[in-house]
């Protein structure tokens, strides 16, 4: 049965067996059984309401903090396209399509001399993913700026959430897993007493100095435990430079797992689990993954 016979007609793109690994920051992983890129909001809502019942659905953004296992992802993977990446500015309020990169939002705010978004220059993912995981760095989190967001659940129902109604915590939110965030509204600071560009340059400089930016990596592999730094625990456990296959703990920043030499997804995940075990043995602290691991470990699972 062809893809056109299995699924409703869409305005966007439905593709079979699309390699996700080559799109991910790690550069590893299997394929999406079906990849759907909706043309616009109407196309997304229509498709969700008409996909066959019980079809597994997965939403992906830039895959900057996602490890796709080698067996790939079954069902339909949804990735929002260009029409979901627009940004509109009205005074100090920014309306943002959630497929936009965090760095694009940061530079848009810079161009309009709006403060508060500088830290986003250091986050490589999309706005949707950043909201879902409450991304942050250098003492700021995206939830600090969020007013409200719009989304579509897997049944095709459009829903709205005010930031005050979302339970945000460190690298987590209570946004439902079956919600595709499509737009968000943020409030910045229009009257600032510092140079936005200077602050962005300072953050960029810190990242270049402390992180392996030119290596295949998904950023921080583990969440910081309360009142502790994951990288310090990892270093104290003797894991800096530790390798499994082609995956390695960065010696520049040991909370980064890098694809050093043609690593597999299994190499990366096994290395992470080994680090968790070594840190637990050394300090009694069990680290939690910050990287989201998706899919099946092999095509046989």
Q: What is the pLDDT of residue 301?
A: 47
Catalytic residue among 159, 171, 187, 215: 171
Query: Residues 220, 250, 260, 269: which is the catalytic one?
Result: 220
**Contact status, residue 142 vs residue 160, Cβ threshold 8 Å:** no
| Residue 13: alpha-carbon gap to chain centroid | 22
Q: Is 290 a catalytic residue?
A: yes
Residue-range domains of the chain with CATH: 3-82 (3.30.43.10), 84-187 (3.30.465.10), 212-294 (3.90.78.10)
Strands 247-249 and 13-19, by their bridges, are: unpaired
**143 included as an active-site residue:** no
DSSP, collapsed to helix, strand or coil, labels residue 296 as coil
Is 220 among the residues known to form the active site? yes
Per-residue pLDDT of the chain (301 residues; tens, 9 = 90+): 667 678 889 999 999 999 999 899 999 999 999 999 999 999 999 999 999 999 999 999 999 999 999 999 999 999 999 999 999 999 999 999 999 999 999 999 999 989 999 999 989 899 999 999 999 988 899 999 999 999 999 999 999 999 999 999 999 999 999 999 999 999 998 766 677 788 888 888 887 887 888 889 999 999 999 999 999 999 999 999 999 999 999 999 999 999 999 999 999 999 999 999 999 999 999 999 999 999 998 754 4
Per-residue pLDDT, 191: 62
Structure tokens at 115: 């403060």
pTM above 0.85?
yes
- Rounded Cα distance, 233 and 164, in Å: 34
Q: How many CB atoms sit inside 10 A of residue 49's CB?
A: 13
- Tell me what pLDDT residue 201 has: 87
For 204-264, the DSSP string reads HHHHHHHS-TTSSEEEESBPPPTTS-HHHHHHHTT-TT-EETTEEE-SSSTTEEEE-SS--
């Amino acid at each position: 049965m062809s893809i056109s016979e299995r699924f409703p007609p869409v305005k966007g793109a439905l593709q079979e067996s699309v390699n996700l690994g080559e799109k991910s920051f790690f550069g590893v992983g299997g394929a999406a059984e079906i990849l759907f890129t909706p043309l616009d909001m109407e196309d997304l809502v229509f498709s969700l309401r008409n996909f066959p019942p019980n079809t597994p659905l997965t939403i992906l953004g830039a895959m900057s903090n996602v490890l796709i296992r080698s067996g790939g992802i079954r069902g339909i993977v949804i990735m929002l396209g260009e029409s979901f990446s627009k940004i509109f500015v009205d005074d100090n309020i920014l309306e943002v399509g959630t497929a936009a990169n965090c760095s694009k939002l940061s530079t848009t705010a810079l161009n309009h001399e709006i403060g508060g978004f500088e830290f986003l220059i250091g986050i490589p993912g999309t706005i949707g993913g950043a909201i879902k995981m409450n991304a942050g760095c250098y003492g700021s989190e995206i939830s600090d700026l969020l007013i409200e967001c719009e989304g579509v659940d897997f049944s095709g129902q459009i829903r709205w959430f005010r930031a005050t109604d979302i339970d945000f915590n460190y690298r987590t939110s209570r946004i439902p897993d079956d919600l595709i965030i499509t737009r968000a509204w943020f409030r910045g600071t229009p009257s600032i007493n510092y140079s936005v560009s200077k602050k962005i340059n300072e953050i960029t400089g810190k990242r270049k100095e402390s992180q392996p930016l030119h290596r295949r990596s998904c950023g921080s592999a583990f969440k910081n435990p309360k009142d502790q730094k994951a990288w310090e625990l990892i270093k104290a456990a003797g894991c800096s430079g530790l390798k499994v296959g082609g995956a390695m703990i960065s010696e520049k920043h040991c909370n980064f797992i890098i694809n050093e030499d043609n690593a597999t997804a299994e190499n990366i995940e096994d290395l992470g689990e080994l680090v968790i075990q070594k840190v637990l043995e050394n300090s009694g602290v069990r680290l939690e993954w910050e990287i989201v691991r998706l899919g099946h470990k092999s095509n046989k699972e």
